[in-house]
Amino acid sequence: MDALVPEMIRIADIDTGKRLRDVDPAKVEALKPSFAELGLRTPITVRVNDSRRKDAPRYILSAGAHRLAAALALGWEEIPAFVRKESALDAELWEIDENLARAELTPADRAMFVFRRKELYLLKYPETGHGGDRKSSGQVGHLVDRAERKSFVAATAELTGKPERSIRRDAERGEKICKAALDKLRGTRLDNGVSLDRLKALPSDVTQIAWVEGALAEEKRIKVESKSIRAQQQKVRHAVRLTEMALTAERGKATAPAKLDRLYPVYYADPAWKYRVHSEVTGREKSAENHYPTMTTDEIVALMVELIGGNHPAVLFLWATNPMLPDSLRVMEACGFTYVHHWVWDKVDIGTGYWGRDRHELLLIGRRGEVACPLPEMLPPTVYVEKKGEHSAKPEYFAEQIERFYPDLPKLELNARRKRPGWDVWGYEVDGRAE
């Protein structure tokens, strides 16, 4: 037989027909970049449509559904293809053989395909179903071109490289299990040999379908129950870690710095940064110094280390502006915290800046030691929008999120404007002491 030479055909002339396997969108997406850069290296295979209808497409797809879908998604109008002139029976046999030889099939897939192959094989070579191997009737075989026509089991075992015992088993499963039950089972956790052997022993299509539906419902119930158990275990571990943080802070009272009489597991700080300006004469007209004393970065580092430095487990929420971001990270690191995340306050109104007109501030989050992360259902969006108020005042929203995370842990707000219920505070506007 002469080797087929690929030719370019119009995609619009191809009928995909009813496929043995559905097209996987993920596989199509994976093929698109390669097709766009290198083109299609392996042509698809089609057969000439022998339909006499005037509106019938010229070709019917035999192999390459994912390749065709990727080409179509890229807007191709033509695609290279091997064009075969064969019957619908031969085309279906060829498609099954390609899947059996190349694709990773589930047990349910193999049962369906092998049994269907048996039906087609016996239609094409009926003599092989009566007494085993016989002389060929003169037809050119689909799999082999030889005088001796092999039995279905022997031919399929040779094609797939599977033992004849496996071929008989797959064909028996496909024959005794109804297609509706196999369709429901395919791709689920029950798609395995044990389930298929149970199914084939059931007496009717109705009982087989009922068994599959019942087993899948039970699987779903167990999955939901397991998820609930895992969520509860996560909450227990979270509560234990919070308790450990509180105990650690309580034990550290005796070694607290002079300015504070205890350690805290939660810190919320808004340092009084002294900003760099182009001119000390004109640049301080609207600066923070007009509202409260400010400090250089070196002074803030020294103070923060004295107040909250150490190695006891804690979490730090630290406000930072765009120009002071490196300084804020320096403070965090000096106090022993590791940056893990940040939130953004969108202040709506646009301010000033040297590289961009600022309208946001960052609330950096750092952790030190084994501290409890918030539960997934408690996590807020990372951007919060609220118009800015009086100078340096931060929205209550952020302190409220910290309270939601750690409702029962001692919390200290540094450079607080006013005392919040449930918090200790330290800062210029609250007499410079923790209370």
Q: Are strands 411-414 and 424-426 parallel, antiparallel or unpaired?
A: parallel
Task: Specify the pLDDT at position 391.
Answer: 65
Beta bridge partners of 44: 81
CATH of 243-430, one of 3.90.1170.50, 3.40.50.720, 3.40.50.2300, 3.40.50.150: 3.40.50.150
Task: Specify the pLDDT at position 255.
Answer: 38
Task: Specify the pLDDT at position 273.
Answer: 86
Rounded to 5 degrees, what are φ and ψ at 386? -160, 135
List CB contacts of 312: < 8 A, sequence separation 6 or more.
Answer: 248, 249, 252, 263, 265, 368, 369
List, by residue range, all CATH 3.40.50.150 domains of the chain: 243-430
CATH of 7-204, one of 3.30.70.141, 3.90.1530.10, 3.50.50.60, 3.40.50.2000: 3.90.1530.10
- Mean pLDDT per block of 10 residues along the chain (435 residues) reads 80 83 86 89 88 82 89 93 86 82 82 91 82 43 54 89 92 93 90 93 93 90 85 80 67 48 91 63 40 76 91 95 93 96 93 85 95 89 90 88 92 86 76 50
